[in-house]
Every structure is written in structure tokens, then in C-alpha cells.
Amino acid sequence: MIEARDGRRVVITGVGVLAPCGIGADAFWAGLSKPAEPVINRSIDDFDAAEWGLKHVDVRRIDRFAQLAIAASALARRDAGIEKDSPYDPYRCGVMMGTGIGGAYAWESNAEVLMEKGAKNVSPLVVPMVMPNAASANVSIRSGFTGPVETITTACAAGTHAVGHGARLIASGRADLMLAGGSESCQTPVMNNGFQNMKALSPTGISRPFDIARDGFCSAEAAAVLVLEEYEAAKARGATIYAEIAGTASTADAHHITAPSPNGAGAVACMRAALADAGIDADAVTHVNAHGTSTQLNDAAEAIAVREVFAASRPAVTSIKGVTGHSLGAAGAVEAAAVALSYRHRELPPTMHVTQLDPELDIDVVLEPRFWDPAPAVSNSFAFGGHNGTLVFRPI
């Protein structure tokens, strides 16, 4: 990173992920190449809070989005070999989580209690359950990490921004290890009907990014956490390294509260800034993990931006949302996990459920699992409000 202090580099040493297509890195990776059932709202049906040390009383006091974050962080720490003990000073270890909504279930259920049973029956714990920082706070408590513990809420870019900000804290010398990612679980009646009434959801329940017949996204719950460490320290302790986070950037469209800038200008600026941060030329990038929501406007704007930035090289583009659905504030973290696993498996996952690519988009969309010789890669997130986030990865 250009902003690194004393040449500090940031690497991924652990991956923890829960998504509708699988719990754990292996199941998640396998699920990315399997067709998904046509379902508008995709949930993690196999999630059992008790498996992650959450007792019945904990489940009553912690909203589901934070429960998923606890599980993802446990998986990531296990994968990194720091499940029980960290080799670092706890004040040099932190948590950086993103979420778009926060504790939606706790909010809506207590709103119902208020209306039906009266004010005295509202839970006294509703505030710590609803607050968006509940995920990072609970992960901090369970990990014992007492360094920077923060939450980023930039809608569907939050997970990417959280990973990027966590990496910057390590590069700048303010931390040695960060648990960075995102979590979301907000398939409540109000949220579902809100998205439905704004025509954002696919009425067919099929997510088909970059397809000529794309008709909206499928909402999903998910959580993903990456263990980020300073490279030399990770190497010294014998950690297994997935890849380096070489650069990151954040921009805004300043265009519309929900629609992206139609010419992709904000996305172009974000990708170019992240590449500059990494010190990597656009021609060196061979893979773009796209935001790819399966909406008409997003996919078109992102394709324009990719063509603008990578015109000479035409990198392979994939969107995993054909399988995972769109997990809002968790999406960027889930996709960062997919990129890390692509380095591990030397393969790019397909963009599922595409039957006819939109010829107007003119990008190289990966339709079948494709062998990949690891090289610099980019992961994008573009959010309501015009928030843009980009991460740049490179092999070690």
C-alpha cells in the first residue's frame, strides 16, 4: 500500500463465511458452482447458534445479524490458527465490521410488542440488539481484542469498506491483526416489502447478473470475516497466507439516493484510486469480482466502468450473487472471501443462472468455473447512496 508505514504489507490469513450456499470456506466454495433454487429471500437454513457457543439466553439478547458475525469470526480465527490465543498484544488487535441495516429483527419485533402489548413490554435490551455496532462489539468481547473496534455502515459497500479500513489500520502501524468483514440479516416484513415495492427484488427469485433478462436481486443474509495480519509477522508465525490486500479506495457518485451514476464515473474513479494505492497497473489485473446485483442499472453502470478502466486487458468478470443473492452490507466481505478462495483454488467461480449475456455490456463474464493463474484482482461494491468501494488483491 502506498500509505503503508515502513513498508508494512497486509495479508489474509483466515477466512470465515456463512452464506445461503454454505457454512464454512469449503462448503461455501463448493456452493458457488451449484445452481440455486429460485427464492427471492435466501436464508442460511443450517445455522445453529448453539454450535457457536451461543446459549438460549444469548440468542434472545443478540440479534441474528450479530450472531452470524460471531460465527464467521470464530471460523476465521480457526482457519488462521488463532482460535484460542492470538500471538499479538490484544490492544494491537481489533475488529472492523460492516452492516447496512443492523438489528432489523429486534427492531421490528419490539415495534410489534409496543403496538400490541404496550410500552412496558418492550425489551430493555432492544437498544444494544438494534445498534449496528452490535456485531463488532460482540466479536470483540468474544475474541478479547481491545484495539480498534469499529463499524462501517455504507449500505451495500459496508463489507468492502470494512475490509479496506481494517487493512489500512494494519498498514499504517496502528494494529497488527484485524478481524474485518460484514454481516447482515434483515429479511423482515418491513424490509422485504420495502425492497419489493421499490421494484428492486427479482419477481422470479432468480439472480442472473449481466443477463439480458435480469430483473432484480434476491435478498440474502450472510456474514464473512477475514483475518488480516501484517505480512512479516504472519510469515514469522508460520501462517498460511491466501493473498495480499494491496490497495483499497472509496468514492461517491453524488448522483442519486438509490441509482448509480449511469456513466459509472464514481466506480471508475474508485477502481483507479485503489489501483494507484496498490501501485498496480490496470493491465496487470486479470480478474474482477463484480458487485453484479442483477439489476438493470447496476450491471450496466458497472460494465461501463470495467470497460473504461480495463479496456486494454478485458479481465475475467464474475458475480457470485447468482448463487448467494445480495446480502447488502455483508456482500463485499462475502465477495472478498470468494476472491481469497480463488487464490487458494486457482479457479474463478461462475456467474450462475445466466442464459443470455446482455450484448450491450461487452465484458468477459465467467459462466463456468475457470482455471486462473493467480494475479492481481479487484473486488467492487457499489451501494445505495452512491457509495463505492474497491479492494485490490495480489498473490504472495
Catalytic residue, candidates 161, 165, 287, 291: 291
pLDDT at 230 over 90: yes
Q: From the centroid of its chain, how far is CA 326?
A: 10
* Residue 284, CA distances (Å) to 46, 194, 393 in order: 40, 41, 11
Query: In this predicted structure, what is the pLDDT of residue 364?
Result: 98
Note whether 10-236 and 247-394 share their fold: yes
Catalytic residue, candidates 21, 93, 156, 186: 156
Q: From the centroid of its chain, how far is CA 317?
A: 17
* Residue 81, CA distances (Å) to 48, 230, 238, 360 in order: 23, 15, 10, 46
| Residues counted in the chain | 396
270 assigned to active site:
no
- 205-241 burial, b at 16+ Cβ within 10 Å, e below that, comes to bbbbbbbeebbbbbbbbbbbbbbbbbbebbeeeebeb
Beta strands in 221-299 (DSSP E): 222-230, 243-252, 287-289
Domain coordinates of the chain in residue numbers? 10-236, 247-394
> For the segment 134-190, what is each residue's pLDDT rounded down to a tens digit?
999 999 999 999 999 999 999 999 999 999 999 999 999 999 999 999 999 999 999
Task: Reply yes or no on domain 247-394 having CATH 3.40.47.10.
Answer: yes
Span 14-22, average pLDDT: 98
Between 6 and 43, name the one with better pLDDT: 43
Q: Model confidence at 125, in pLDDT bands (50, 70, 90)?
A: very high
Span 321-330, average pLDDT: 98
Query: In this predicted structure, what is the pLDDT of residue 5?
Result: 82
pLDDT at 103 over 70: yes
Catalytic residue, candidates 161, 165, 287, 326: 326
pLDDT at 225 over 80: yes
Span 209-237, average pLDDT: 98
Q: Single out the residue of 338, 363, 367, 364 nearest to residue 354, CA to CA.
A: 367
Query: In this predicted structure, what is the pLDDT of residue 312?
Result: 83
**How confident is the prediction for the chain on average, in pLDDT?**
96
Could you tell me what percent of the chain has a pLDDT over 70? 99
255 assigned to active site:
no
Q: Single out the residue of 342, 169, 166 nearest to residue 242, CA to CA.
A: 342
Query: In this predicted structure, what is the pLDDT of residue 84?
Result: 78
Cα angle 293, 296, 299; round to 5 = 50
> For the segment 331-378, what is each residue's pLDDT rounded down to a tens digit?
999 999 999 999 999 999 999 999 999 999 999 999 999 999 999 999
Query: In this predicted structure, what is the pLDDT of residue 350?
Result: 98
Query: In this predicted structure, what is the pLDDT of residue 65?
Result: 98
Question: 10-236: which CATH topology?
Answer: Peroxisomal Thiolase; Chain A, domain 1 (3.40.47)
Query: In this predicted structure, what is the pLDDT of residue 6?
Result: 84
326 assigned to active site:
yes
> For the segment 244-291, what is each residue's pLDDT rounded down to a tens digit?
999 999 999 999 998 888 889 999 999 999 999 999 999 999 999 999
Beta strand pairing call for 243-252 and 316-318: unpaired
Query: In this predicted structure, what is the pLDDT of residue 2?
Result: 63
Q: Which 8-state DSSP code applies to residue 86?
A: -
Query: In this predicted structure, what is the pLDDT of residue 85?
Result: 79
Span 78-90, average pLDDT: 91
